[in-house]
A and B are shown apart, each in its own frame.
Chain A
Amino acid sequence: MDQLIQLAIELVKIVVIAVVVLVFMMVAVLYMVLKLRWVIARIQSRLGPNRTGPWGVLQTVADALKLLQKEDIIPCGADKWLFTIAPALVFIPAYLVYVVIPFGRGMAPSQLAMTHSLGEIGKLPGLSIGVMYLSAISSIGVIGIVVAGWASNNKWSLLGAFRGASQLIAYEVPIILAMVVPVLVSGSMDLSAIVDKQAGGFWHWNLFQLQAGPALPIAFLMLIIAGLAEINVTPFDIMEAESELVAGFNTEYSGMKFALFFLAEFAAAFTLAAIITTLFLGGYNPPLAFLGGQLSGLAFSAVSLFWFLAKCWVLVIFIMWVRSTLPRVRVDQLMNLAWKALIPVGLVNLLLAGAYVTFWMAK
């Protein structure tokens, strides 16, 4: 009986964590969409949303409520079931990725789920296959996009879906080759362990580390370029290129199903920022020791949460800046960049990192 109650408490705890993560994700996405519109407006010398609520901050909330009430149109001849499942196939992986992201020391949702007391925070390891889990789960989304395009029975959607699939799979390989380098240098796939290895000042961050020669900075650049393609933002938004494909794979979607695609897309943008921060920018470690590094226990966990979110936010703004500045590339340029530039460079970079680890770091 006692064990049953224990189990029930455990389950409730995990569900509470799941709710908190979901709420965080929704709030982050609502604010990111708003910020994106402000940033793009500023770059294009116009005002952006400024009417709904003070300074327009309620604009995206109003948009979300509007989408909730929109009529849901399933076009005739569409595959009804696949049409409905597709948004879930895109949304759920984007949400599941958050399980392993170390938001602060000991604050990855998978770690919190196993923590039984406040004193235990920061003492538990994260998911031991963290990096592999990230790349495995985030690639499920491609299936959802192909399903959405196929089920719509619309030529634009189908074209967008095939383009999207070829783009996403092409850029997954450079991402894998880039993420493997920090794993190689840290000797662990656990994201928390990788972050803890970067403790100290900002010169300990993987981006500025030369213990693997130039391999880490090169991997960082590769991850940013391929990551932008993977989250499908403007220089690489071939699969929903408005001027060519109407709206790509989600042309026929409306209402809440469209909102789920939208949510997943922006959640993925935040995930990219979080992955780059974790693997290369010291994760939740403060940039200089006196900015929180001297703290310990719970106080450090709180400060680390702040630094993690701050770094992610800087990267998110950077992504928006890129997105509103660069023109779209052509499909053939996009495929060539992945297969003829990033992947060969990535393979050489991997061997370079391996050589440095074997013949230099081990000494």
Chain B
Amino acid sequence: MLAKDFLTIGIFALFGIAFIVITLIASWAVRPHRPSDAKLSTYECGEIPIGPAWTQFRVGYYIYAIIFLIFDVEAIFLYPWAAQLLGFKNNHAMMVMGFVDMVIFVAVLSVGLAWAWKKGVLEWK
């Protein structure tokens, strides 16, 4: 079942790529192509651009990304746990154990978030 579901998803993805290729080719066929220096320069409010845009950027974005990574990995554990918890309906001890496990897991995550918060990582400066 799952294999065929992913076949469907794969064909959808291929079809999406095909759609993009076709529209880009179609627009390439009908559109004009008259480049000029002024047209091709990047937009900087009408001024001549100063230097390339590929420069250093704020480190703040990087720290947010690292915190996000922790929470995103959490999602992989979270969904199967959530889907399965009610499945242990007939074995209440097992269910309580599952719940306690998640409390510990979330507690560890929260400590990480609280630490980042206290360190001032979450301040947008």
Contact = CB atoms under 8 A, between A and B. Distances in A.
A52 B27 CA distance: 22
Given A68-B30, A154-B43, A154-B53, A88 B20 contact: yes
A317 interface: no
B98 to A, nearest CB: 7
Contacts of A88: 16-17, 20
A260 B20 contact: yes
B68 A170 contact: yes
Contacts of B15: 15, 18-19, 22
User: Which of A18, A109, A114 has the largest number of chain B CB atoms within 10 A?
Assistant: A18
User: Which of B26, B61, B85 has the largest number of chain A CB atoms within 10 A?
Assistant: B85
Interface string B87-113: 101001001101100110010011001
Nearest to B20: A88
A154 B42 contact: yes
A340 B86 contact: no
Contacts of B4: 113-114
Interface in B1-60: 1-2, 4-5, 7-9, 11-13, 15-17, 19-20, 23-24, 26-28, 30-35, 39-45, 49, 52-54, 57-58
Contacts of A72: 27-28, 31, 33
Interface in A228-281: 246, 251-252, 255-257, 259-260
B77 to A, nearest CB: 11
Given A72-B28, A99-B9, A132 B43 contact: no
A358 B98 contact: yes
A42 interface: no
A173 B75 CA distance: 8
A165 B66 CA distance: 12
Contact of B12 (A84, A99, A185, A361): A99
Given A15-B15, A184-B82, A77 B52 contact: yes
A325 interface: no
Nearest to B79: A132
Interface string A146-166: 000010111111100010011
A268 to B, nearest CB: 14
Contact of B20 (A91, A176, A183): A91
B86 A362 contact: yes
Interface in A345-360: 347, 350-351, 354-355, 357-359
A186 to B, nearest CB: 8
Contact of A336 (B17, B84, B87, B124): B124
Contacts of A68: 23, 26-27, 30-31
6 contacts: A17-B8, A77-B52, A96-B16, A127-B5, A173-B72, A335-B122
Query: Considering the complex of A and B, which 9 residue pairs feature the smallest CB-CB distances, nearest first?
Result: A187-B86, A332-B124, A256-B27, A154-B42, A18-B15, A184-B82, A358-B99, A169-B68, A113-B8
Given A21-B12, A73-B35, A335-B122, 20 more contacts: A17-B8, A71-B34, A72-B31, A73-B39, A75-B42, A114-B5, A114-B8, A128-B5, A169-B68, A172-B68, A173-B75, A246-B45, A255-B31, A257-B24, A339-B64, A339-B122, A344-B110, A347-B109, A351-B102, A362-B95
